[in-house]
Amino acid sequence: MESSSDISFYYDDVDFQLNDPQTYRRWLMEIAALYNKEIGELSYMFSSDEKVLEINKTYLDHDYYTDIISFPYEKQPISGDIYISIDRVKDNAEHYTIDFELELCRVIAHGLLHFIGFDDHEEEDIKAMRQAEEQAIEQYKILGLTQKGI
């Protein structure tokens, strides 16, 4: 699926940057293609707990920390903004004793999966979302190994 995708990564109030943004872009396009979707403009903002909390309060009237907030703009091609708390991702990785990069992948994929149409409010929907996240993480692992020539 040919695409004129514009996937951007921004950093605000955190000492963090993706190691290989191009691999993440390719991976996100692969996830979308798996569901016959195309990405238009997709922006990921990596921030601190406090910045994401401020967005949660201001735009969603929620007063709690969260790892991700997504604002979809177009369904096809998929366009929107996704805010990720690096603090939450680090805490989640420690809490679940998993690698930070894999937890980051889960959260990055989670935002796109919401835009694709996955939900996570009902138990059945949560299971489907988790399965889709796991499938996306496996794709990321394969892509990462391919990029390294393994």
pLDDT in tens, 119-139: 999 999 999 999 999 999 999
Structure tokens at 110: 């989670």
Which pLDDT value is given to residue 145?
55
Structure tokens at 45: 């903002």
Q: Are 52 and 88 in contact (CB under 8 A)?
A: yes
6-147: what fold? Answer: Collagenase (Catalytic Domain) (3.40.390)
Which pLDDT value is given to residue 4?
56
Torsion region of 143: left, alpha or beta (phi above 0 gives left; psi -120 to 50 gives alpha): alpha
Alpha-carbon distance of 37 to 79, in angstroms, equals 11
Which pLDDT value is given to residue 143?
84
Which pLDDT value is given to residue 48?
97
Which pLDDT value is given to residue 5?
77
Length of the chain equals 150
Which portions of the chain are predicted below pLDDT 70? 1-4, 145-150
Alpha-carbon distance of 113 to 32, in angstroms, equals 8
